[in-house]
Structure 1
Amino acid sequence: MKLGVFTVLFSDKSFEAMLDYVAEKGIEAVEIGTGGYPGDAHCKIDELLNDSKKLQDFQDSLSKQGLIVSALSCHSNPLHPQKHIATEGDRLFDKTVMLANQLGIPVVNTFSGCPGDHEDAKYPNWPVSPWPNDYQEILKWQWEEKIIPYWREKAAFAEQYNVKIGLELHGGFSVHTPATLLRLREACGPAIGANLDPSHMWWQGIEPVESIKILGRENAIHHFHAKDTIIDQPNMNRNGLTDMTPYSDMKERAWYFRTVGFGHDSKEWADMISALRLYGYDHVVSIEHEDGLMSVEEGFTKAVETLKPVMVKESVGEMWWV
């Protein structure tokens, strides 16, 4: 298992400067954005797809630092009811899969997307209550008419390119829990898996270790993010977990993101790493930073310091003691 970082943290640095910086910190893998919400500061996808020299230079820069790419990430909403938004996300996903294939990168990370509630909708509709029954009707239409048909096609496309799809389980999108991920995987095939981020499990009331077990039993974890969350219980009592308070108003929010180790201690992170290994995950733990209380550099450094001691680097082989 390798320790990595989602390089969107360092979008202010050039590609080479970013690689120098993270390698000096002991990072072994990078997750790189190709556009969409993460931006494309370190990967101009059209240039790389159409210029073999630039593609080779990109690979050489990584090799020089001894780094691998754990995933390419193109988080967007390809099911957005506004066609121009959906089309942009769809085209970016296809290009990212093709680039991942050319570079030998195993995973493309994104969101499942969230449709509207009918064909002429303008905005996504994320049902979070089973009643009144209108919400059940919306959910049924979304899954049968939009979500499953789209991702069935994309799963087949990714399989043609020998790439796995890591859907980040994130509130506001149709796939946001282990159950919704497994529902889509059952309908679309094993190319669909999770980019599992424990920070999004905590705020939904899901224990991350248990989510690892649920998904790990199905071999459905394709990638893993490292980001923490803290619950402010008095605010949770008032606002509930679907808190719409702006992220910037941290004093009033029911929960907010923290750097690794500042929401949950190293023992809980060790338990997650151990559960990942128990269920066969041996890829990358990719640090993400969305902590409103400390700088990117400080948060990233503290995350590395917390995770390095609990990473499992070597498999056991034979159990010599039995």
Structure 2
Amino acid sequence: MKLGVFTVLFSDRSFEDMLDYVASKGIEAIELGTGGYPGDAHCKLDELLQDEGKREKLLQQASEAGVIISALSCHANPLHPQRPIAAAADELLVKTMQLASKLGVPVVNTFSGCPGDHEDAKYPNWPVAAWPNDFQEILKWQWEEKLIPYWKEKNSLAESLNVKIGLELHGGFSVHTPATMLRLRNACGAAIGANLDPSHMWWQGIDPVEAIKILGNEGAIHHFHAKDTIIDQQNTNRNGLTDMTDYSQMRDRSWYFRTVGFGHSQKTWADIISTLRLYDYDYVVSIEHEDGLMSVNEGFTKAVENLKPVLVKESLTEMWWT
């Protein structure tokens, strides 16, 4: 396994400065944003698609720093009911997949998207209640008319480009649990899998270790984010876990993100890493930082320090004691 970082944390640094800094911390892989919510500070999509020399330079700089590019990330909503928004996100995804193919990067990370509730809707509709039955009708329409047709097409494109799509299981989007991930994958194809982030499992009441087992059993984990979450039980009693309190109001929120080790113990993270290996994930653990109590540099550094002791670096080839 390799320790990586989602470089959107360092969007204020040049690509070269970012590489030097993360390599000095022992990082072995970088995940680059190409646009959408992550921005494109370190990966200008159109420039790189059009210029082979710039692609070669990017790969050479990464190689000289001793890192690989684990994924290109273009988190957005390609199923947004407002067509211009959806079209821009779709174009971004297609170009990102094309660039990943040209660079030899195996994974493109994004969101599943979330449609509206009818063709002329203006805003996404995220149904999370089984009753009244209106919600079931919305859910059925979204999956049959929007999600499955769209992602079937993208699965075929991914196969043709020899890349995989890692969907982040994130609240507010149609794929947000292991069950919805596998539903989409079974309907659309195996190029689609998870960019699994345990922080989004915890606040939904899902044990990340069990999520890894469910998805790993199907070979459906394509990439992995390392981010922690803390649950404030007093606020949860008041607001529930589907808490709409602004992220900046941390004292009042039911849950908020923390850097690795500051929401759950190192033993919990050791269990997560060990279960990833048990289910044959031997790729990158990519640090993501959205901790409102720590600077980027401090949060990133602490995540590195907490993950290094539990990361499995030497996988066993045989049971030598039997």
**What is the TM-score when the length of structure 2 is the normalising length?**
1.00
User: Secondary structure of 1:39's partner?
Assistant: coil
Residue of structure 1 in register with 2:109 after alignment: 109
User: Secondary structure of 1:301's partner?
Assistant: helix
Residue of structure 1 in register with 2:273 after alignment: 273
Residue of structure 1 in register with 2:122 after alignment: 122
| C-alpha deviation, 1:138, in angstroms | 0.2
Quick check: 54-63 or 8-17, which moved more? 54-63
Distance in 2 (CA, whole Å) between partners of 1:276 and 1:65 is 27
| C-alpha deviation, 1:108, in angstroms | 0.2
| C-alpha deviation, 1:13, in angstroms | 0.2
Distance in 2 (CA, whole Å) between partners of 1:81 and 1:201 is 26
Distance in 2 (CA, whole Å) between partners of 1:52 and 1:205 is 46
Distance in 1 (CA, whole Å) between partners of 2:155 and 2:233 is 40
Residue of structure 2 in register with 1:196 after alignment: 196
| C-alpha deviation, 1:52, in angstroms | 1.4
Distance in 1 (CA, whole Å) between partners of 2:114 and 2:31 is 24
| C-alpha deviation, 1:38, in angstroms | 0.2
- Structural mapping, 1:128-139, within 5 Å: 128-139=128-139
- Structural mapping, 1:85-100, within 5 Å: 85-100=85-100
Residue of structure 2 in register with 1:311 after alignment: 311
Q: Which runs of 5+ in 2 are unaligned?
A: none
- Structural mapping, 1:1-322, within 5 Å: 1-322=1-322
Q: What is the number of equivalent residue pairs in this alignment?
A: 322
Distance in 1 (CA, whole Å) between partners of 2:164 and 2:307 is 25
Q: What is the root-mean-square deviation of aligned Cα atoms in Å?
A: 0.4
Q: Supply the AA of the counterpart residue of 2:303.
A: A
Q: Supply the AA of the counterpart residue of 1:100.
A: A
| C-alpha deviation, 1:31, in angstroms | 0.3
Quick check: 52-61 or 68-77, which moved more? 52-61
User: Secondary structure of 1:273's partner?
Assistant: helix
Distance in 1 (CA, whole Å) between partners of 2:306 and 2:293 is 17
| C-alpha deviation, 1:88, in angstroms | 0.4
TM-superposition CA deviations, 1:100-142 (whole Å, max 9, x none): 0111101000000000000000000000101110000000000
| C-alpha deviation, 1:91, in angstroms | 0.4
User: Secondary structure of 1:309's partner?
Assistant: coil
TM-superposition CA deviations, 1:270-312 (whole Å, max 9, x none): 0000000000000000000000000000000000000000000
User: Structure 1 vs Structure 2: percent identity of aligned residues?
Assistant: 78
| C-alpha deviation, 1:176, in angstroms | 0.1
User: Secondary structure of 1:109's partner?
Assistant: strand
Distance in 2 (CA, whole Å) between partners of 1:145 and 1:100 is 28
**What is the TM-score when the length of structure 1 is the normalising length?**
1.00
User: Secondary structure of 1:121's partner?
Assistant: coil
User: Secondary structure of 2:126's partner?
Assistant: coil
TM-superposition CA deviations, 1:221-264 (whole Å, max 9, x none): 00000000000000001000100000000000000000000000
Distance in 1 (CA, whole Å) between partners of 2:141 and 2:298 is 45
Distance in 2 (CA, whole Å) between partners of 1:267 and 1:318 is 25
Deviation >6 Å, runs of 4+: none
| C-alpha deviation, 1:315, in angstroms | 1.1
| C-alpha deviation, 1:99, in angstroms | 0.5
Distance in 2 (CA, whole Å) between partners of 1:60 and 1:316 is 31
| C-alpha deviation, 1:57, in angstroms | 1.2
TM-superposition CA deviations, 1:169-224 (whole Å, max 9, x none): 00000000000000000000100100000000000000000000000000000000
Q: Supply the AA of the counterpart residue of 2:283.
A: H
